[in-house]
Amino acid sequence: MHPTQQPGWIALSSHAKALKETHLRDLFSQDGQRFERFSVKHDELMLDFSKQRITTETIQHLKALANDCQLKLWIEKLFCGEKINTSEDRPALHTALRQPADKALYLEGHNIIADVQENLEHMAEIVERIHAGQWRGYSGQPIDTIVNIGVGGSDLGPMMACRALSDFQPLISNPLTMHFVSSMDGSQLADLLDNLKPETTLFIISSKSFTTIDTLSNANTAREWLKKASGVRDELLNRRHFIGVSANQEKMSQWGITPKSQLNFWDWTGGRYSMWSAIGLPIALKIGMHGFKDMLSGAHSMDEHFLHAPFEENVPTLLGMIGIWNINFLNIHAHAILPYDGRLKHLPAYLEQLEMESNGKSTTRQGEKTDYHTCPILWGEIGPNAQHAFYQLLHQGTESVMCDFIAPARRYHDTGNSELQQQHTLTLANCLAQARILALGDSVLDNSTSAPRHMRYHGNQPSTTVLVDELTPYSFGQLIALYEHKVFVQSVIWDINPFDQWGVELGKKMATNLLQPLNDPLAEANFDSSTDGLLNTIHRLQGKS
């Protein structure tokens, strides 16, 4: 049945009308127990939903809607490997990547957990060799610099995790420097190559498809740079300086990655869900295999919780359903991700891909056009930095925005560094202050109403605070799995497939069509007046016409 015809949806619509005039300030003054009522803890994460514009009735209706849409059944389909990515005829089994070794999951008669474990062992061998200084470049010197070349899901997850978990680097005899390169125009790579030593640099070419032009162009540039610098033959460079990570072995081999330096994963791992697979090699290099496995365990703990916990305690389900409430019933279509921890700098970019590429769709599983909103516009920044940039709009603009505040409760506590401890306290104070003012507005002040209009804060901007006990590989794994499952919950309610991304394909084809007319001013170009005009101007500026 169409989601908007479900009884839960209809009940939520009238409930939203009844709550329309209710400010968060009223909800707090009516109920002194909001925090106890609307905060939920699972393991190392605590989510406070009390600053959302909800009542206990809202939660009941959301639960009814989740049941109407058979959420429980869909979660089971996800975990057991049903082909729920129907447009690509495959399952989405990122949860299998974090299953313990003693579990089994059969896909077409084959135990994929055994494959996953074998893969982890191969990863561990590579990590060990590099950490021990036994992986040597063409001149015999140990590798000390890693450059991950990838884009989208083959870049954002590992880059985010390496930054987030840099406090957890193991003591190794051969410390590594790590870089991430994604941009198609080569600007990141060009800057980097000027400062790298070719004989000690190892490139990880990460691409699920191994056909992504952005990644292959950067990889080719890197190989040419190595060739010129070393004067060594391709075969030796490929063996000593390139590792490939892909679900496409054939393409990796064609490019020249030697079989021993190939790490595989599977088409049932979506690109934006792949940091748990061999795509996570940079993470394992950064925090060691032990740390990487802790991250997998954290995610697994969230998986088990998502699969088994009842709705009222189910953290990803609540996060997803309260998002549905905001988007479809309170008409809020902007979502800010605000980590109060500089280590989570890349979390907003990661979630932009995870959420908007998964749920930024308007076609239902039945192939019909949705007549309701789906994924909101998501963006974000380290919270304290964003306070000096776009919080003005959050506090006094005309848009309703829902916010996620994400902060660790403990940091620096065992460093003995009181200045840094104080900085953490200051950061938490800002996090709590901002969420409070966004919710309650200037009613937090005694004499607010006497202030001129330009100094008023209207409040009523809903937010969730995600409090992490302490940022570790384990809690980080939980946090990311939380968002993955939240996205899944919303996709079920919206009746869309979150695991494909057809909306990115046409742009790739069109860019290919434009290469020839860009190279050759005499090539036939008959696109549209804007594109033709831009082509002519570029030719003129390049001195080609």
Ligand X SMILES: O=P(O)(O)OC[C@H]1O[C@H](O)[C@H](O)[C@@H](O)[C@@H]1O
The footprint of ligand X (CB under 6 A) covers 151-154, 207-209, 212, 215, 271-272, 357, 501, 504
From 388, 419, 509, 524, the catalytic residue: 388
> Catalytic: 15?
no
- Side chain identity at residue 363, one-letter code: T
Nearer to ligand X, 50 or 374 (CB): 374
Cβ atoms of residues 512 and 344 within 8 Å? no
Which residue reads 């709590």 in tokens? 432
> Catalytic: 388?
yes
**What DSSP state is assigned to residue 85?**
B
CA distances from 334 to 323, 370, 380, 394, 531 (A): 11, 19, 10, 10, 31
CA distances from 495 to 69, 267, 365 (A): 8, 23, 6
Largest pairwise CA distance in the chain = 77
> Catalytic: 508?
yes
Cβ atoms of residues 356 and 497 within 8 Å? no
On the 0-12 / 13-18 / 19+ scale of CB atoms within 10 A, 253 is: middle
Which residue reads 């919206």 in tokens? 494
Cα–Cα distance for residue pair 138/147, rounded to 1 Å? 16
Nearer to ligand X, 217 or 423 (CB): 217
Secondary-structure percent of the chain, ordered helix, strand, coil, rounded to 5: 55, 15, 30
Nearest distance in Å: CB 202, ligand X: 19
Cβ atoms of residues 113 and 95 within 8 Å? no
Nearest distance in Å: CB 488, ligand X: 16
Cα–Cα distance for residue pair 155/491, rounded to 1 Å? 24
Nearer to ligand X, 135 or 180 (CB): 180
Positions marked catalytic:
357, 388, 508
